[in-house]
Amino acid sequence: MREGYGSIEEQAQDFIRVFLKLQQAGEEEKEAFIQEKGRIGEREALTRIFLPAVYLRERYALTETEYWLVMLAFCLEVEGGLCLDFAKKSRGRQPDLQYGLHLLSSVLPVDFALIGELCKGESALGEILRLPEAGQTGLLSAPLALQAGAFRFLLDGIPPEEELFRCFLPDEAVLPGGGQVLALHQKEYNRLCICFSMAEPVRLLLHGDRGTGKHTLIKRACRETGSIAVFVKIGRLLKEEAAERRRMMQTLRLTCRLFWPVLVLELAGTADAGPADAGSPVELFLNEDFPQCRTVFLTESRGEAEGAGGLCTVRMDLRQDLSAEEVRLVLDSRIRAGERRSWQDELLGRCRFNIGELEQKRKAVELLAGEAGLTLGEKAPWEAGLKEHSMNSGMGKILESRYTLKEIVLPKECRKQLETVMRLAKRWGGEHGLHLLFHGSSGTGKTMAASALAGELGIPVFKVDLSQVFDKYIGETEKHLEEIFRVAKRGRCLLFFDEADALFGKRTGIQDAHDRYANVSTAYLLQRIEEYEGIVILATNLLDHFDDAFVRRIRFVIRFRNLDREDRERMWEKAFEGGPPLAKDVSVAELAQAAELSPARIRAAAQVAGLLAGCRESKSITREHIKEALELEAGKDETAVRGL
């Protein structure tokens, strides 16, 4: 009684024995071949283990001739003796397609229809064998060889992978090392499970910032529905040379034909990827030559989402930040009970993290704690780690200075407006979006007022470096802006754009593509500002240079005027606080009357007067020190100094 095959190797050995006999056989051996072929078919039917060759035959609906041609190509690669026998008869040449068809023609039907299909690229063998492209000459002289993905699959039955795409099997761990998977984005998870269970093709768009858990969410849904997922890095694939790209696409098509997977197309970095002949990232995978799978487009930027959104039947936008309850769940699952503290929730609640960012921050804090010989139950490593995360951007810097409204001198009308803004910000918690425009002469206190507003709310100030934002290359400016708002949102920062007229100046007439792109970039920045759920302050010395349409869309416009005499007197008093005492003959009222200086220039003059007193080893700041300092400061723009 015959039994099924116990392994892939056992099946391959049967085929190899048949092909060795067939190479030596004459016409009288034809009947023996038919018997051997029948015996192999019976054993395959009785086999209970997974046989990749049989599975491939069924998925591609191969004819008997096509199946045996595929197995001949496979055996030629695993059994050197088959190639040697052919090489002896053909003066060292490698077996080609013509040889394979000739060898099988004595025992199996090989007609012109099969060859014609191969020439047109219409045969299933076009995805399994390494054949010339459709329309090219030399088909029959092409080496009889399997494409790399097909060979690996027949060898071990595992879905083929390439450097630029990888497979996730339903029995794999969702997280590396088998870590605990948290049930985040539950609504989106349920929808994915429904879509992945559908038999017909469906296209989905899954949009979310880096670290929101898109990959984990898809893997969870695949495990639940028993689906294989294939993650494809489209940006890197498009940068490959045309020949290499075709080879990888052939392997990917094979994988999709065999396993009908969830095809996950990662569009990150596709804005400037690929040569002109590659086509758009979306078109590359939705043309008629590619299998119609359940397809998920993964996007991180708005541009990527808009490019794919019109072709998708379902769109899901992942919530970017963890809720307070989700932060608590993450900490409960990742921190030992003996080191878990309630203040950890409160400390992390001041920032906005998605799951990826929170995991990175927790690991960074663990590293800092280990280096300092501390535990996670102590505050020091947490505070150091959170401060460190705020600095991670080349697009600007965190302002370290901290002021309160009581510490800065401002005109009464300006102070009143800022106090109103402060009350609104405290009531809303800085989460509903406050957009302000500060305008006034240089040194009138715009930056200090921004710092004071942030200080009252207990949030950092992120001052944008405009020289790093705008880029002459199309698409780079948007990337920089994405980085700015990502960092600001993560740290719940007050965003401060100084000299903002450079960003929102009057829009230019369109003379060329660069003018059009500059206007688009500016409009995009305004859109991001309006969507930012925090405080954004634009500061300018030149309000007249601002586009009126932009000014109308800003919620609060606050003018910083020059100080009047009384305010200048208070400013001089504050400027000398904490330094050497004033001599008895110095009158701050007289100093306020002497020159109409801005707060910044008064502070500068007071600092110089203190330095002069120190250099001359004086115990106090005298009129002479102040007069000399004032003359130096006033000389910058020939400001008049009276009465000293």
CA-wise closest residue to 298 among 264, 270, 263:
264
* CA distances to 20, 91, 549 from 540, in Å: 85, 82, 16
Q: pLDDT tens-digit profile of 446-476?
A: 888 888 888 888 788 888 877 677 665 556 6
Name the least confident of 133-147, 214-228, 268-282, 465-479. 268-282
Kindly tell me if the per-residue pLDDT of 275 is higher than 50.
no
pLDDT score at 40 = 92
What is the predicted pLDDT for the residue at 517? Answer: 45
pLDDT of the residue at 642: 67
Residue 474: the pLDDT is 56
Least confidently predicted of 342-346, 482-486, 521-525? 521-525
What is the tens place of the pLDDT at every residue in 331-376? 998 899 999 999 998 888 777 788 888 888 888 899 888 888 999 9
Cβ atoms of 307 and 297 within 8 Å: the answer is: no
> Quick one: pLDDT at residue 603?
83
Residue type, 349: G
Top mean-pLDDT range of 132-146, 322-336, 520-534: 322-336
Per-residue confidence (pLDDT) for residue 519, from 0 to 100: 58
User: What is the 3 state secondary structure string of 304-355?
Assistant: HHHHHHCCCCEEEECCCCCCHHHHHHHHHHHCCHHHCCHHHHHHHHCCCCCH
pLDDT at 340: 92
Q: Which residues of 278-312 are buried (b: 16+ CB within 10 A; e: fewer)?
A: beebbebbbeeebbebbbbbbbbbbbbbebbeeeb
Q: Model-level pTM?
A: 0.69
> 596 exposed, middle or buried (CB, 10 Å; 0-12, 13-18, 19+)?
middle
Q: Residue 473: CB partners within 8 Å, gap ≥ 6? A: 272
The rounded distance, in Å, linking the Cα atoms of 446 and 459 is: 17
Q: What is the mean pLDDT of residues 45-55?
A: 93
User: Counting Cβ atoms within 10 Å, is residue 313 exposed (0-12), middle (13-18) or buried (19+)?
Assistant: exposed
pLDDT at 491: 72
Query: What's the average model confidence in pLDDT over 523-530?
Result: 78
Q: In the prediction, which pLDDT does 513 show?
A: 46
In this predicted structure, what is the pLDDT of residue 510? 47
Q: pLDDT at residue 111 above 70?
A: yes
Q: For residue 580, report the phi and psi dihedrals to the nearest 5 degrees.
A: -60, 150
pLDDT of residue 385: 80
Q: Which residues of 547-573 are buried (b: 16+ CB within 10 A; e: fewer)?
A: beebeeebeebbebeebeeebbbebbb
- Look at the alpha carbons of 524, 526, 532, 538 in this order and tell me if their dihedral is positive or negative: positive
Confidence of residue 54 (pLDDT cuts 50, 70, 90): very high
Tell me phi and psi for residue 505, to 5 degrees.
Answer: -65, 165
Residue 70 near residue 118 (C-beta atoms within 8 A): no
Angstrom distance (rounded) from CA 640 to CA 595: 6
* pLDDT of 505 higher than 70: no
- Token pair 């007071």 in the structure block, residue: 606
**Cα 477 to the chain's mean position, in Å?**
16
Each residue of 333-371: b (16+ CB within 10 Å) or e? ebbeeeeeeeebeeebeebbbbbbbbbebbebbbebbee
- The answer to whether residues 80 and 74 touch, using CB atoms and an 8 Å cutoff, is no
Region 102-110: mean pLDDT is: 83
Q: Which two tokens stand for residue 18?
A: 């048949």
| Summary mean pLDDT of the chain | 81
Give the span between the Cα atoms of 305 and 577, in whole angstroms: 55
Q: What is the pLDDT of residue 276?
A: 44
Sign of CA dihedral 238, 241, 242, 247: negative
Q: What is the pLDDT of residue 12?
A: 92
Q: What's residue 192's pLDDT?
A: 94
- Whole-Å CA distances, 37 to 15, 81, 154, 387, 518: 9, 21, 19, 72, 70
Tell me: pLDDT of 596 over 80. no
Reading the block at residue 156, the tokens are 């071990």
User: Percentage of the chain with pLDDT > 90?
Assistant: 16
Cα–Cα distances in angstroms (integers) from residue 190 to residues 231, 262, 355, 454, in the given order = 20, 16, 19, 40
Question: Range with the lowest mean pLDDT among 176-180, 225-229, 437-441?
Answer: 176-180
H-assigned helices in 61-197: 64-78, 80-89, 97-105, 112-120, 148-156, 186-197
Cα 274 off chain centre by? 18
d(CA 447, CA 498): 8
Q: Which residues are paired to 539 by β-bridges? A: 438
Q: How much is the average pLDDT of 480-499? A: 80
Q: What confidence score (pLDDT) does residue 429 get?
A: 55
- Order of all β-strands in the sheet with 203-207: 165-168, 229-233, 262-266, 294-299, 203-207, 314-317
| pLDDT single digits (tens) 116-164 | 777 666 677 888 988 876 556 677 788 888 988 899 999 988 888 877 8
81: confidence class by pLDDT, cuts 50, 70, 90: confident
